[in-house]
Amino acid sequence: MNEPTHFDLLAIGGGFAGLCTAVRGAELGMRTAVLEAGADESYRCSSRWAGGIFHVSYHDVKLSPDELVAAINRQTSGETDQELAAAIAADAGPTVDWLASRGAVFTQASPAGWHRFTLAPPRLPVAGQDWQGRGPDRLLGELRRRLDERQGRLFLGTRAASLRLRRGQVVGINAHKDGKVLEMCADAVAIADGGFPGNAELFSKYIGPRPDRVLMRHAGTAIGDGLRMAIDAGAAYVGLDRFYGHLLSRDAMENEGLWPYPQIDAVATAAIVVDQRCCRILDEGLGGISITNDLARLDDPLCATVICDAPIWEGAGKAALIPPNPQLLAGGGALHRSDTLEALAEAAGLPPENLAATVAEYNDAVRFNRLTTLLPERSARSGAPQRIETPPFFAIPICAGITNTMGGIAIDGHGRVKRPDGSAITGLYAAGGSTGGLEGGGALGYVGGLIKACVFGLRVAEHAAGQLHRCLK
Ligand SMILES: Cc1cc2nc3c(=O)[nH]c(=O)nc-3n(C[C@H](O)[C@H](O)[C@H](O)COP(=O)(O)OP(=O)(O)OC[C@H]3O[C@@H](n4cnc5c(N)ncnc54)[C@H](O)[C@@H]3O)c2cc1C
């Protein structure tokens, strides 16, 4: 039987952004399909591997739109596209309700407000991969089932290669499947390919010189196809140098059991991060995402070690849902420990006298409130700094892990792809990790990958359906 090749709305990518687009579009009466490059039924994507926490800038998605806009602005220091922020704030609550009515099961993963909507079952609090059968994996299955019920299509093993354009308008996609070229027509195309965290060339161009020395903390399937296609069609892009990511044990570069968790962020933020000479190299107080970005831009992103003491290891070390204390050791990661800083430096292969001097200078700055005189300066955005003075002392060799790109294709509040002059490219939309403008402002403010994917997936479908029905009238 010949496959249909004409659709009202085609989504590129079968993560949450693409599936929300296609399911909602089908519910609104459109003939929709998803092209998914992965051939396997459990095709890899960040959506499947996610921790499953739906939040808006670390706030409960059910707060009022005004509160959520304020939270986004605080997180991004106001350097966010206000139209996109307003869209997220208005739709975050209704979007989790829509997901719940389409098979999502939510649980409160911890007493923290921003953990209220975590997909169930949540992953176990253990180091390493644990996505099979967890909430995000199940929800992808539920959305797919609903797509089938509405006669929407999911084409596995089908990689979109280029957009089909007629007189500046997008009218379909050329895709590759089993070595053949498929020509598919559509009134609207939604790019939902997850961005470009897995594209080493784009990483080198926009983020840092050594992608080979940065941990790829993602499914490896978002490789920038959508960005390339959108730019070829005349799209604008924004903030490509910013990414969302976390600090991990340096051993995660070799040891699968140490990523995507435990993250070392909370410990690093409470402590100091030094290079091989034991010099502090960045502002730890700006938080884990900022530290991760700073490391990834260095000539050698693998040069860094976190130095902390017992109160930090017993406090911040145990604070996360999947805490490095004790999951770092459980996963097989290096943790050096000693009663003196000199012995700690020796164990970690660092110059002993330099470490003692760096810690002494830091402790003095904390004691006498001179943090702004340190080089680099130490801010207190992520919590008040504390002295590193109570043995045992700990050293954790770390690496930077990229989870997803924060920048990407420029869109408006409906997910329409914009040209550099601000006009929309007819027939072209983008959603989720492929888009930019919302996140990455200030100290690399994060809004939330899951809520962004689902809110804009739904918005794209609503707008495309409105356009189609207007044409049919
Ligand atoms: C370990 C981990 C934990 C995370 N935890 C959270 C969390 O708890 N909360 C949160 O908010 N965010 C979290 N995130 C981020 C979140 O998962 C992503 O931001 C979000 O899922 C992105 O969804 P997406 O649909 O845009 O992209 P993806 O889920 O990456 O899907 C993109 C899809 O497009 C396909 N594709 C790529 N190119 C093509 C092509 N040319 N043709 C066809 N198909 C193509 C890929 O195969 C992939 O299936 C986490 C991410 C990771 C990796």
| 452 CA from centroid of ligand 1 (Å) | 11
Nearest atom, ligand 1, residue 244 CA: 15
Spatial distance between the Cα atoms of 149 and 205, rounded to a whole number of angstroms: 43
pLDDT digits 0-9 by tens, 366-405: 999 999 999 999 999 888 899 999 999 999 999 999 999 9
| 406 CA from centroid of ligand 1 (Å) | 12
Spatial distance between the Cα atoms of 107 and 145, rounded to a whole number of angstroms: 22
User: What is the pLDDT averaged over residues 181-193?
Assistant: 97
Residue 471 confidence (pLDDT): 72
| Residue 333 · residue 252 · CB < 8 Å | yes
Residue 2 confidence (pLDDT): 63
| 64 CA from centroid of ligand 1 (Å) | 27
Residue 115 confidence (pLDDT): 97
Assess whether the C-beta atom of 34 lies below 6 angstroms from ligand 1.
Answer: no
> Both ends of the chain: CA-CA distance in Å?
32
Residues β-bridged to residue 402 = 216, 245
Residues β-bridged to residue 358 = none
Q: Is the pLDDT of residue 454 over 50?
A: yes
Residue 473 confidence (pLDDT): 64
Residue 383 confidence (pLDDT): 83
Spatial distance between the Cα atoms of 289 and 342, rounded to a whole number of angstroms: 30
Residue 1 confidence (pLDDT): 46
pLDDT digits 0-9 by tens, 396-430: 999 999 999 999 999 999 999 999 999 999 999 99
Nearest atom, ligand 1, residue 17 CA: 25
pLDDT digits 0-9 by tens, 273-294: 999 999 999 999 999 999 999 9
CA 90 vs CA 56, 176, 293, 433, 468: distances in Å: 11, 38, 29, 19, 24
| Residue 11 · residue 190 · CB < 8 Å | yes
CA 459 vs CA 168, 197, 314, 368, 430: distances in Å: 23, 24, 44, 52, 10
Assess whether the C-beta atom of 37 lies below 6 angstroms from ligand 1.
Answer: yes
**Residues in the chain, overall count:** 473
Q: Is the pLDDT of residue 468 over 90?
A: no
Angle between helices 341-348 and 352-367 (to 10 degrees): 130
pLDDT digits 0-9 by tens, 109-143: 999 999 999 999 999 999 999 999 999 999 999 99
Spatial distance between the Cα atoms of 93 and 271, rounded to a whole number of angstroms: 36
* DSSP code of residue 280: B
Spatial distance between the Cα atoms of 43 and 37, rounded to a whole number of angstroms: 8
| 83 CA from centroid of ligand 1 (Å) | 23
Residue 419 confidence (pLDDT): 98
pLDDT digits 0-9 by tens, 57-115: 999 999 999 999 999 999 999 999 999 999 999 999 999 999 999 999 999 999 999 99
Query: b vs e for 338-369, b when ≥16 Cβ sit within 10 Å of the residue's Cβ?
Result: beebebbbeebebebebbbebbeebbebbeee
Q: What is the mean pLDDT of the chain?
A: 97
Q: Is the pLDDT of residue 248 over 90?
A: yes
Classify 139 as helix, strand or coil. helix
Residue 364 confidence (pLDDT): 98
